[in-house]
Structure 1
Amino acid sequence: MKKLTFLLFVVQLCHTIPSEAQTGTPFRIIDDFSALDSTRFIVTYSLDFFHNPDKPGAIDSDIIILEIGYRLSKSYSYGLFKHDSIATTINKRGGSSAPNLQKAVPPMEVFKNHPFGKNTVIHRSPFGRLIFLYEDEINIQWEILHERK
């Protein structure tokens, strides 16, 4: 039984990796939602990050959106949001695939104070539709610095 389970896992993994290799990050349908809070402020900033630690000179960049509400805040990649929006539209029209992401984006969403007193991180795996979700009581302290070039 263990061999059969392992074999099925390997077959699924081999089937999934080629289909997700082009995008690197699976899309999420975003039209099924419920409002958790009202947005008071929206902060948009540029994030430069190292996508591959083996290539320290290769810096990627993305636009990050920080939505601050009355009770919680949410931070996410604008590139990933656009990708999800396009994939949702294609899915509504009967399509089953999404366009490729043009560059690397941080595949996560961070909710501060959701549920109350905790932080929730949703991290998408490049291996199929796996989504890792975890909660932690980390006390994030933001420090806003002057822009550097």
Structure 2
Amino acid sequence: MELILKHFEKYVSYVLMIIAMVFVCYQTWDLAYHFGFNMIGNIKDPKLNIEEKGRPVAGLFFSILLTLEIIQTIRVFSHDHSVKLRIILIVGLIAVTRKILMFDMEDVNPMSEFAIAALIIALSLGYYLVTTSEKSVVRNSDK
């Protein structure tokens, strides 16, 4: 039973990584398409409105970055069967950054802003603590 579960987990990881890679290819093509048309539109139109036209491009960019980090997480888990907390925290920070970039500032209520600020502080503090604890473990093992 353990062998069946191990093979099942391995193949599901492969399928998830393949789907994520196809999704990254699609998003990269979509990013290039939007970026190209926004640049051509800015050249034709003398008024340069980066905020309005740059929001979808920035959202796609961070979405690609987030998907690549998720692929990395799946790959590390499928090889080592360990969860790397630093990678999870980085994925969380990227997701929060993407959410901030996609906000429409007129429709955001103050409680949402405080919640996102608390989330950023918690993820950053967690990343700092994990990084410093890993460094202290390495230093202690050298002694």
Normalised to the residue count of structure 1, the TM-score between the two structures is 0.26
Question: Higher strand proportion, which one?
Answer: 1
Question: Higher helix proportion, which one?
Answer: 2
Tell which structure's C-alpha radius of gyration is larger.
Answer: 2
